[in-house]
């Protein structure tokens, strides 16, 4: 679902994953999405590898694969925020969500990331354009199959209200 929502935006998509994650690789191959394989020491390493593989891009939306309910509309709102800010991020109430957008000006800093802190240090060192959302789906991550069923049910009840 995460890949489907990302592709629905019409924006270019590039996936970073581990070499042993063959299911993701097959899914990306079927969708003609380029993949960077990395035995990552953490999210920072993965971000740096992905940005280096797409260094000609004008910006990046870092979106975690375990957040399948982020809508393509929200992805586009975060991307649009990069027209006026170096970093943009959705917030539901006071909670930061995903994806996190980074402008071209952040390329060098993104390429220098390492470890398991991801881009957290950049978020603390720079101002972030807050994209307010009325949907908690930008903060829902799925770590277990049972969570996927529960989150899908919550998503459907949220859409009905």
| CATH number for the domain that contains residue 104 | 3.90.550.10
pLDDT of residue 29: 97
pLDDT of residue 35: 98
pLDDT of residue 122: 95
* Domain containing residue 120: 2-160
Question: How many C-beta neighbours within 10 Å does residue 100 have?
Answer: 23
Q: Are 41 and 123 in contact (CB under 8 A)?
A: no
pTM, rounded to two decimals: 0.87
Q: Are 62 and 98 in contact (CB under 8 A)?
A: yes
Mean pLDDT in order along the chain per 10 residues (161 residues): 94 97 96 96 93 97 92 96 97 94 97 89 94 89 58 51 45
Helix, strand or coil for residue 33? coil
Look at the chain and report how many structural domains it folds into. 1
DSSP string, 100-123: EEEEGGGHHHHHT--TTSTTHHHH
Helix, strand or coil for residue 79? helix
How far is the C-alpha of 63 from the C-alpha of 66, rounded, in Å? 9
pLDDT of residue 161: 45
């Amino acid at each position: 679902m995460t890949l489907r929502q990302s592709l629905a935006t019409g924006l270019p998509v590039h996936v970073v994953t581990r070499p042993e994650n063959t299911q993701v690789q097959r899914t990306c191959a079927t969708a003609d999405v380029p993949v960077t394989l990395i035995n990552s020491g953490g999210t920072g390493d993965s971000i740096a590898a992905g940005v280096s593989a797409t260094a000609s891009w004008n910006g990046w939306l870092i979106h975690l694969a375990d957040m399948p309910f982020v809508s393509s509309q929200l992805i586009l709102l975060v991307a649009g925020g990069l027209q006026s800010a170096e970093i943009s991020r959705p917030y539901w109430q006071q909670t930061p969500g995903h994806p996190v957008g980074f402008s071209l000006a952040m390329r060098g800093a993104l390429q220098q990331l390492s470890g398991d802190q991801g881009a957290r240090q950049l978020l603390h060192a720079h101002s972030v354009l807050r994209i307010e959302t009325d949907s908690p789906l930008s903060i829902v991550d799925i770590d277990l199959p049972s969570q996927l069923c529960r989150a899908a049910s919550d998503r459907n009840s949220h859409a009905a209200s």
